Structure 1
Amino acid sequence: MKTKCVLCDRTFTPAPLQEKKLRKHPHRMFLCPECHQRISQQTLDRKSEMDRRKTSCQSSSGPQSG
């Protein structure tokens, strides 16, 4: 079964589990492995950056004795 990626419009053959899900729910959209990897890496980078910001804000905004 060939599937078209919604982001890059490339055709690809999905993994067997994705293929089964696609047959049961044809309205679902899937990403090709390259786009999926790129998006997941960007999401992990964004989450780690937010964690670093949160940590730095908490340490600098503590109660000042003085």
Structure 2
Amino acid sequence: MRVQCILCDAVYELDDTSLEAKRLRNKPLQTYMCPTCHERITAKTKRRRGHAPEHKRAPGQSH
């Protein structure tokens, strides 16, 4: 099965019997992201979540 990455537009060949190919066939609105783009987005998301400020209020403070 030929698929195209939604971010970099690279074309990849998936095994027709793979679970990922089956999911893409059965749910055509799902998109494919190549492993390189997936790792890049995952790393940025983890870094962003790791540095997210916490919104805790001190005891006794109201809105």
TM-score range, shorter chain: 0.7 to 0.9
1:10 equivalent in alignment to 2:6: no
Structure 1 alignment gaps of length 5 or more:
none
In structure 2, runs of 5+ residues without a counterpart are none
Q: Cα 1:49–1:36, aligned 2, differ >3 Å: closer, same or farther?
A: same
* TM-score normalized by the length of structure 2: 0.73
Q: CA deviation at 1:62?
A: 5.4
Report the RMSD for the aligned CA atoms in angstroms: 2.0
Query: Structure 1: which amino acid aligns with 2:5?
Result: C
Aligned residues: 57
After the TM superposition, list the runs of 4 or more consecutive aligned residues in structure 1 that deviate by more than 3 angstroms: none
The normalised TM-score by structure 1 is 0.70
Structure of greater Rg: 1
Q: Percent of counterpart pairs with the same letter?
A: 33
